[in-house]
Amino acid sequence: MPLDIRVIPCLSDNYAVLLHDPLTEATAVVDVPEPGPVMDALELEGWDLTHILVTHHHSDHVDGVLALKAQYGAIVVGPKAEAAGIPGIDVQVVDGDPVAVGSLIGRVMETPGHTAGHVVYVFAEERLLFAGDTLFVLGCGRPIECDPPVLWHSLQRLRTLPDDYALYCGHEYTVANGHFALSVDPDNGALRARVADAESARREGKPTIPALLGDERLTNPFLRADDPDMAERMGLAGADPAAVFTELRARKNVFKG
């Protein structure tokens, strides 16, 4: 029986994602920027929330956790390294831990960089990656609590997942990310097409997630820091990929296009 997924816009540019198992009626939400839109979606679908999966401790991912836990009695799962910053946490997870949502079995991958204890949730049978703020469509998170090479290492881990995985991330940044990507990779035809598609989707009020990981591998510059062509465009031919990634991230931080 196929699972059901709902993408829920929250705040100004956040997403929460509902994951529903029709076989057991278990339902999880990945991150809760605010409770209202999630509650509205649950009511619309007639689903009962059983799990809250938290990727990291930032307020725009956890501010709605306690309200949902109080309303539904959901189990709160989050990274052990950030447990002190995750309200209502019940289950503290580390790299490789299984996470069950009814009959759906995922696993935890630790992906430090944006925050020191950030995790993502991978559901291999369903080909799903819930990446929080580690990997965005055509971009990546800002390395706030770690040096950029730490985030680069985490992105390399995600890059090993199969091409047919669907990427769900925590923010709607795709158009802005795409404009930056074109500034460093202007001759990439696949990238130009993806940016055009994203712009069209946003004009229609549609989300740009999910995206296929295989498409990210071809068009996301932050997954290609070890590509010699990317290093050359950064003026860093022959440099360590971590240095190329650091330069890419520094340019993105100040990009105004």
Catalytic residues: 56, 58, 60-61, 114, 133, 171
For 34, half-sphere exposure in the C-beta direction (CA atoms, 13 angstrom radius) is 10
Residues 188 and 219: beta-carbon distance below 8 Å: yes
Residues 28 and 51: beta-carbon distance below 8 Å: yes
Q: How far apart are CA 111 and CA 117, in angstroms?
A: 7
Q: Which residues contact 251 (CB under 8 A, 6 or more apart)?
A: 180, 183, 184
Q: Which helix (H) or strand (E) holds 197?
A: helix 189-203
Burial state string for 36-61 with b = 16 or more CB within 10 A and e = fewer than 16: ebbbebbeeeebebbbbbbbbbbebb
